[in-house]
Structure 1
């Protein structure tokens, strides 16, 4: 019998009590002095003004604030202290953080305090991150316009297990060790994945550095421009809208391109980003490139992907930076036979899968480690309810 099993047998053999979070802790919404710009200060004796942007997703602690507010501003805000929790209530709602500093929070946060008689701090952190609690918060979040929000009352009404403190401490010990081991393994796999990607890019460069004749863009490619969506009510459906990156911006009910295509983003920070699509899509601020006869669209994709840093650097404009169709159409491409293009594509597709496909290779191993951790965490945090 493990130590945890012994503790459960000693302290809670018949199950544990469940109570609402509001019975176990003080939960209050943050507050913002307005207009906030009137209360921001650079004085050393200012009060930490803790914002969503001060903590990275995946962080456990809030260790600093990029701005401070005056003492008068703090009186109009919600004060929090080291050891309290804050919980984001909009955008990436439901994410808990432990405060390692004192300060004040705005109304994008919920403050959670006065729980130490009931919960070990680290146990509560693991519990709030568990799949069951996160899913329950997602169900309770309401839509305010296009953004989901989590209010204090919905968090107060969460039903949480209250195991005895010795049981909580042992679960924390187990999860801390498991977290550390998982982090070490993930770091090793991530380092290996980075090395693989560099190796892949090296071989892609070598395979595409052709010592052969180069031909005009129009002999290999057909290029067209995306179109803007003007109807606000058209943002429904299952057709991905391609704006700037690999992930769709949203979905609508009709495409403006069918079949295989390369998309190069036209403007903004992602100008020059190259993506490949083999499904119906709607391209907005981008260029659509198709292959002419006797050219392999995947070969063209790899060739343009290799030029992505060059395309990004070629953007121009004093306002929103952009690349032009002329810049793209001025590119010359290697005159390789369709057979040679297909051979190169077969090699690069295998490399690409090993590096990037979530279902194979190292990314799949990293994802498996994450799921394994979440499974055991959730199992340890599931308790029979005391009848």
Structure 2
């Protein structure tokens, strides 16, 4: 029998009381402030995000403190601090003499999604004290709380260490992948431009947003540049109608094109569409001549020359144009022997595919291991923070 089981059997064999959060903790709203009203310093200012909004020289909370972000995209995010902080657009929670603050922190992490679900507001989402203050907290005796904290803190530490090790391994594998990709793709001095190896190239269009007939009940995949992230496109977030294809420049392109983003922050990123689809005007779709090059090989080559593409960007938004992209030169092995050339391209693709799968597929390899460890921690955290209720609590 574990130490925790012994403590529970000795100190709360009949279960524990569940008490409202506001009745067993100290909850305080933050103090409204801005960079103009606070002097710059080293103390974190906790507002609406996961990271400190800025740093000041004044603290309004000391010692063990839990904060819950009050507004913005991170509204509801739970953090633990054991240093001076300034709570701004957030609120703080501290334990009482009968409730360990670190125990409360683990409990709130365990119901993080429930806290997120309390968000209100049509514009900027907010989480308010009133939305969570009546959450019921299991309150076992302090020795039980302390043992749970010890176990979960150790689990957190081990999970963080393992995640760091796996992340370092993943980073090393990616660097190895990029090294070999560059090495294999730079050995061939015979080069052809994308224009020379393309059967066709075209950009798309954005159907008029105000025309609902172009979008309502649309079934035709329509790709936007934010979905082009050195990946394979098997589906799109948006769809348009057949009428949009007939009346606008958003035309069908065949599967297995190399697609390069040509505008804004995403310019230079590339992808392969594994399904026929349409695109917006900020995507350039290049249909590769299979007699000269494999589309997957060309995709890897374009990925490998991302920095070269970035260097070609121009204008205030950092755009590319089709001529600059189509002028990009691709190494073609054994250009005098088509069969040998395509075989060598396939060999390189097969090797790079294995690296890519290891590095990026969340269902296999290292990323899956990281996710599995996190889920294991969450499973045990939930088990440790679930108690039988005392009968008195059930009858309240």
TM-score relative to the length of structure 2: 0.79
Conserved 8 A contact 1:236-1:251: no
Change (3 A) 1:264 1:368: same
2:262 is aligned to 266
Which residue number corresponds to residue 238 of structure 2?
252
Match of 1:103 in 2: 86
Matched position secondary structure for 1:144 = coil
Task: State the distance in 1 between where 2:43 and 2:166 align.
Answer: 41
Equivalent residue for 1:338, pick from 342, 345, 354? 342
Q: Does 1:197 align with 2:174?
A: yes
The corresponding residue for 1:59 is none
Residue 168 of structure 2 aligns to a residue in which SS? Answer: helix
1:376 is matched with: 380
Q: CA deviation at 1:204?
A: 1.1
Give the aligned partner of residue 211 of structure 1: 188
Measured after TM superposition, the shift of residue 373 of structure 1 is 1.6
**What displacement does 1:8 show?**
0.5
Pick from 152, 157, 161 the counterpart of residue 180 of structure 1. Answer: 157
Indicate the residue corresponding to 1:39 in structure 2.
37
Please tell me whether the aligned partners of residues 296 and 342 of structure 1 are also in contact (alpha carbons under 8 angstroms).
yes
Matched, 1:308 2:267: no
- Residue 115 of structure 1 corresponds to which residue in structure 2? 95
Which sits farther off after the overlay, 229-238 or 9-18? 229-238
- Displacement, 1:305? 0.5
Secondary structure at the aligned position of 1:224 is classed as strand
Within the candidate set 105, 108, 122, 1:144 is matched to 122
Change (3 A) 1:32 1:263: farther
Q: Secondary structure at the match of 2:202?
A: strand
Q: Structure 2: any 5+ residue segments left out of the alignment?
A: 242-249, 334-340, 392-396
* 3-state secondary structure, aligned to 2:237: strand
4+ residue segments displaced more than 6 Å: 235-238
Q: Is the 8 A contact 1:235 1:251 kept in 2?
A: no
Number of aligned positions between the proteins: 361
Counterpart of 1:20? 20
CA RMSD of aligned residues (A): 3.2
Distance 1:375 1:326, change over 3 A: same
**Unpaired segments ≥5 residues, structure 1:** 57-61
Note the C-alpha offset of 1:230. 4.6
Partner SS for 2:285 = strand
Q: Does 1:385 align with 2:384?
A: no
Quote how far apart the aligned CAs of 1:353 are. 0.5
Could you tell me how far apart the structure 1 residues matched to 2:330 and 2:79 are? 51
Find the aligned partners of 2:163 and 2:45 in 1 and give their Cα distance. 33
